[in-house]
Amino acid sequence: MNDSPSSTSDFSDSILSFEDSADRVPTLWLHGFPLNSTMWDLQVSGLCDVARLIVPDLRGHGLTEPTPPPYTMEMLATDCVRLLDHVGCTGPVVVAGLSMGGYLAFEICRRFPERVAGLILTATKATADTAEIRAVREKSAQTALTDGVAPIVEGLLPKLLAPGAYDTEPELVEFLKEMMLGTSPEGLAGAQAAMLARPDSTPDLPGLKVPTLIIHGDEDQLIPVAEAEAMAAGMPEADLVIIPGAGHMPNLEEPAGFNEVVREFLEGFY
Least separation, in Å, of the C-beta of 34 and ligand MLT?
Answer: 8
Strands 93-98 and 116-122: parallel
- The DSSP line for 179-197 is HHHTS-HHHHHHHHHHHHT
CA separation for the pair 248, 37 (Å, rounded) = 16
Q: Which residues contribute to the site for ligand MLT (CB under 6 A)?
A: 32-33, 99-100, 195, 222, 248
- Work out how close the CB of 257 gets to ligand MLT at its nearest, in angstroms, rounded to a whole number: 19
Q: 231 near 126, Cβ under 8 Å?
A: yes
Residue 126: which of 50, 33, 235 has the closest Cα?
Answer: 235
> 23 or 174: whose CB is closer to ligand MLT?
174
What is the closest distance, in whole angstroms, from the C-beta atom of residue 160 to ligand MLT in the complex?
A: 7
Which is closer to ligand MLT, CB of 52 or CB of 248?
Answer: 248
For 211, residues 6+ apart whose C-beta sits below 8 A from its C-beta are 117, 118, 119, 237, 265, 268, 269
DSSP 236: T
* Of residues 32 and 185, the one with the C-beta less far from ligand MLT: 32
C-beta closer to ligand MLT: residue 100 or 153? 100
Least distance (Å) between residue 30 CB and ligand MLT: 9
Which one, 99 or 183, has the nearer CB to ligand MLT? 99
CB 103, min distance to ligand MLT, A: 7
